[in-house]
Amino acid sequence: MSTFQAPKGTYDLIPPDSARFLAVREAIAAPLRTSGYGYIETPGFENVELFARGVGESTDIVTKEMFTLTTKGGSELALRPEGTASVLRSALEHNLHKQGNLPVKLWYSGSYYRYERPQKGRYRHFSQVGAEAIGAQDPALDAELVILADQAYRSLGLRRFRILLNSLGDKECRPVYRAALQDFLRGLDLDEETLRRAEINPLRVLDDKRQDVQKQLTGAPLLRDYLCDGCKAYHEEVRELLTAAGVAFEDDPRLVRGLDYYTRTTFEFVHDGLGSQSAVGGGGRYDGLSEMIGGPALPSVGWALGVDRTVLALEAEGVELELPAATSVFAVPLGEEARRVLFATVSELRRGGVAADFAYGGKGLKAAMKAANRSGARYTLVAGERDLAEGVVQLKDMESGEQSPIALDAVVAELRGRLG
């Protein structure tokens, strides 16, 4: 055992569990690829100011949870705590918004980092798949992203998740609500830090998970009662499009999400089988973020879905994913000539798309067959000097135990046919 371990609050993904994470990432990405979203990858760290401006200086993410570092040149960097600000920064830097029709539709996958108290479902290193549609204000885009996430979850077999939906208004109507909410919060018995947060961004207080705070928020003014006519109409069209698509959702007038950049549509995917860490993903519209980080006006919408949380949701529902076999065929050579011949056969199988492995290290028959069993292979190929002299290999079905000789030059075709 190594003297080193993974840092506190992080984890290693190892086989066979890692196969489930890969399957979840692929399932989430699949509907995005067929809906015009192109893949983007950004650095694992960015300028601290990017997140301070975009995510919000009053958020827990910026004030408490970012991992920061100072370079030898004196630059302040942060490990990325979320994906949207980085993706928008990249789109602006490379002028993607000037290269064709808007919106620019992008998807991404990667690891993110927040300094939090480690617990099940909440780690300091976590994995997400995200999608952003940059440069267009259209209720159909908001609805599209919710529908694509719903499609991804259902393709995995999840059924017991809920979609929460709300509107946060815009720069026209939110200031009026903001003032009303601040007046309400000033009358509560809140600690100094929470009161300070209320003065910077009072909506953040609504997202406070502490029970003593939530109890005092009963009777707080609701944003939906302050929406302007434009925001009301926009939100109603999003609702109508989702309903027409057969996507069920719940209106949640207290849903605000945890980042300062959201405007208008906001949504969250929750799974009640996960306890307190019930959110498996979420997102919304962020029409002013581009300007916050120095870009032009580019109304945008996006989401991020947690791979870790989605895996936990699958476990909570008892859903077993149909995972592709890591190894379908395992070759066992008995002797040097068989080793040369079967190694070439394995290479040809792999070129033909068959998952194949080989008994490395000169194992004897008994040890090699144990390795074949551990690999989960459906078939084994066994060959010795006598088999090669007869121009055959022994093909064994590991499920039925049946074994039969197959002509050496027909092995690849035979296995591809059996494996479909």
Q: What angle do CA 299, 301, 302 make, to 5 degrees?
A: 150
Q: Does residue 347 lie in a domain region?
A: yes
Tokens of 201: 């961004």
Judge contact between 263 and 170, C-beta under 8 A.
Answer: yes
Q: Give the C-alpha separation, 178 to 184, whole Å.
A: 10
3-state class of 269 per DSSP?
strand
Q: Encoding tokens for residue 348?
A: 């040809």
**Residue 151 clears pLDDT 60, i.e. is over it:** yes
Q: Do residues 304 and 353 share a domain?
A: no
Domain end position, chosen among 276, 291, 317: 317
Q: What's the confidence (pLDDT) of residue 59?
A: 61
Question: For residue 143, which of 235, 269, 255 has the smallest C-alpha distance?
Answer: 235
What would the pLDDT profile of 64-121 be if each residue is shown by its tens digit? Answer: 788 889 999 999 999 999 999 999 999 999 999 998 889 999 999 999 999 888 777 7
Residue 204 forms part of a structural domain: no
In a domain, 221, yes or no: no
- Using CA atoms, how far apart are residues 7 and 314, in angstroms rounded to an integer? 26
- How many domains does the chain fold into? 2
Say if residue 139 is in the same domain as residue 244.
Answer: yes
Q: Please, which pLDDT band fits residue 3 given cuts at 50, 70 and 90?
A: confident
Query: Which tokens hold the place of 80?
Result: 């990325």
Q: What percent of the chain has pLDDT above 90?
A: 65
Q: pLDDT by residue (tens digit) across 12-47?
A: 999 888 999 999 999 999 999 999 999 999 999 999
**Beta strand pairing call for 38-39 and 104-113:** parallel
- Tokens coding 299: 């109304």
Q: Which of 317, 348, 365 is the last residue before a domain boundary?
A: 317
- Whether 222 maps to a domain, the answer reads no
Residue 106: closest CA among 94, 118, 88: 88
- Mean pLDDT, to the nearest integer, of 234-257? 94
Per-residue pLDDT averaged across 111-137, rounded? Answer: 89
Give the pLDDT band of residue 51 (cuts 50, 70, 90). confident
Lowest mean pLDDT among 134-138, 219-223, 309-313: 219-223
Same domain, 283 and 368: no
CA gap 207, 189 in Å, rounded: 17
What CATH number corresponds to the domain at position 400?
3.40.50.800
Distance (Å, rounded) from C-alpha 280 to C-alpha 304?
Answer: 9
- With beta carbons less than 8 A apart as the criterion, state whether 322 and 164 touch: no
For the packed helices 411-419 and 336-351, what is the interaxial angle rounded to 10 degrees? 50
Residues 42 and 68 reside in one and the same domain: yes
Please report which confidence band the pLDDT of residue 1 belongs to, taking 50, 70 and 90 as the band edges.
Answer: low
Contact by Cβ (8 Å): 199, 181: no
**pLDDT tens digits, residue range 332-342?**
999 999 999 99
Rounded-to-integer distance, Cα 406 and Cα 37, Å? 47
CB atoms within 10 A of CB 94: 12
pLDDT reported for residue 391 = 93
Same-domain pairing of 240 and 353: no
pLDDT of residue 259: 63
Considering the domain boundaries, does residue 182 fall inside one? no
What SS3 string covers 310-340?
Answer: HHHHHHHHCCCCCCCCCCCEEEEECCHHHHH
Q: Are residues 165 and 273 in the same domain?
A: yes
- Nearest residue to 46 (alpha-carbon basis) of 22, 27, 25, 68: 68
Residues 97 and 118 in one domain: yes
Q: Is residue 7 part of a domain?
A: no
Task: Please indicate, yes or no, whether residues 297 and 358 belong to a single structural domain of this protein.
Answer: no
Note the pLDDT of residue 260: 65
DSSP-derived 3-state class of residue 16: coil
- Among residues 317, 350, 375, the one where a domain terminates is 317
Q: Show the domain range for 127.
A: 17-173+227-317
237 found inside a domain: yes
The per-residue pLDDT for 153 is 97
The whole-chain average pLDDT of the chain stands at 90
With CA atoms as reference, report the closest residue to 105 among 139, 128, 130.
130
Find the mean pLDDT for residues 142-153.
98
- Is the domain of 390 the same as that of 349? yes
Asked if residues 65 and 78 have their Cβ atoms less than 8 Å apart, the reply is no
Q: Radius of gyration (Cα) for the chain, nearest Å?
A: 27
Strands of the sheet with 263-271, listed across from one edge: 38-39, 104-113, 125-134, 300-306, 279-285, 263-271, 161-167, 250-251
The model's pLDDT over 190-244, given as tens digits with 9 standing for 90+, comes to 888 888 888 887 887 887 778 888 888 888 888 889 999 999 999 999 999 999 9
pLDDT of residue 258: 59
Question: Which burial class, exposed, middle or buried, applies to 69 when counting CB atoms under 10 A from its CB (0-12, 13-18, 19+)?
Answer: exposed
Produce one character per residue of 107-118: b if its CB has 16 or more CB atoms within 10 Å, e if not.
bbbbebbbbeee
Residue 343 has pLDDT above 90, yes or no: yes
Strands 329-333 and 356-358: parallel
Q: Which CATH number goes with the domain that contains 281?
A: 3.30.930.10
Contact criterion met (CB below 8 Å) for 106 and 39: yes
Q: Is the pLDDT of residue 58 over 60?
A: no
| Distance between CA atoms of residues 125 and 39, nearest Å | 22
Going by C-alpha positions, the residue among 360, 316, 309 that lies closest to residue 339 is: 360
pTM, two decimals, is 0.89
187 occurs within a structural domain: no
Between 256 and 170, residue with greater pLDDT: 170
Alpha helix positions (H), 55-209:
60, 84-93, 139-156, 174-186, 192-200, 203-206
Question: Do both 298 and 370 map to the same domain?
Answer: no
> Does 259 lie in the same domain as 127?
yes
Return the minimum-mean-pLDDT range out of 120-124, 161-165, 358-362: 120-124
338 and 396, same structural domain?
Answer: yes
